[in-house]
Structures are given as C-alpha cells and as structure tokens.
Amino acid sequence: MLLIHCPYCDDTLPELEFAYAGEAHIARPADPSKLSDEEWRDFLFIRSNPRGLHAERWRHINGCGRFFNALRDTVSDRFLTTYPAGHPRPDVTKLEAAE
C-alpha cells in the first residue's frame, strides 16, 4: 500500500484515502476549435507513461477532497514529493540535493 502525503492536510495517509487522476500538467487547449486531429489525439489519448519519474494527479477523496500533484518513480513506486494543483513541476535535482 502506498503512503501518500496530502499537501493541504499536511499528513501522510494510506492510498485508500486517495483517488488517482491520471498524468499531471496536461492543459486543456485554449482554443479547441483550432486543433488538428493529431493535436486532439495528443491531448486526449497520448500519455508519457514513463518508466521512471512520473508527474501525476491525485485527489484526497476521503479527506479534504482536493486535487494535488505528485512526483513518483513508477519503478519503485516511491513518491519524491507532492505539491498543490496549479504549481509547476518541481525541479528534481533540487529535491534530491535537499534530501
């Protein structure tokens, strides 16, 4: 079971309190009618699916109910950090230096 830190509740809690919500930092197109079929495909269906560091959305559904983002290693399932929605993806090199 994953232990996940909610940045709003400032508490590390079991995975069962949270719902996964897909890859993070995928912005809805500003002007959808201008998009080509390929751009729509990329927005709707293409995901980075990395073997390694993944920025992803979680929702503290059985807690504060709010969305936040996380950086997690998809091989070890270890969370590097979690941060509030709307914040840019943290710089990994700085995170590792801080540890």
Partner 1 sequence: MTHFSALSLLKNALTGNKNWTEQWPDAQPKKEYDVIIVGAGGHGLGAAYYLAKEHGITNVAVIEKGWLGGGNTGRNTTIIRSNYLYDESAKLYDHALDLWDNLSTELNYNVMFSKRGVMMLAHNVHDVQSFQRHIHSNRLNGVDNRWLNTAEAKAFCPPLNVSPDARYPVMGAALQMRAGTARHDAVAWGYARAAAKRGVDIIQNCPVISIRRGADGSVEGVETAKGFIRAKKVAVSAAGHTSVIMQTAGVKMPLESYPLQALVSEPIKPIFPCVVMSNTVHAYISQSDKGELVIGSGTDQYVSYSQRGGLPLIEHTVAAICEVFPIFNRMRMLRKWGGIVDVTPDRSAILGKTPVKGLYVNCGWGTGGFKATPGAAHLLAWTVAKDEPHKINAPFTLERFTTGRLIDEAAAAAVAH
Contact predicate 60/68, CB 8 Å: yes
| The binder of partner 1 chosen from 2, 9, 13, 53 (CB under 8 A) | 2
Spatial separation of the C-alpha atoms in residues 96 and 36, rounded to whole Å: 39
Considering beta carbons, is residue 44 or 98 the nearer one to partner 1? Answer: 44
Spatial separation of the C-alpha atoms in residues 96 and 74, rounded to whole Å: 17
Shortest Å distance, C-beta 79 to partner 1: 11
- Residue 68 burial class via C-beta count within 10 angstroms: exposed 0-12, middle 13-18, buried 19 and up: buried
Pick out residues in 32-91 that bind partner 1 (CB under 8 A): 37-38, 40-42, 44-47, 49-51, 54, 56, 72, 74-77
Q: For 78, list phi and psi in degrees, rounded to 5.
A: -80, 135
Please choose, out of 12-20, 26-34, 61-69, 85-93, the segment that lies near partner 1 by the rule CB under 8 A: 12-20
Q: Interface residues with partner 1 (CB under 8 A)? A: 1-2, 15-16, 19-20, 23, 37-38, 40-42, 44-47, 49-51, 54, 56, 72, 74-77
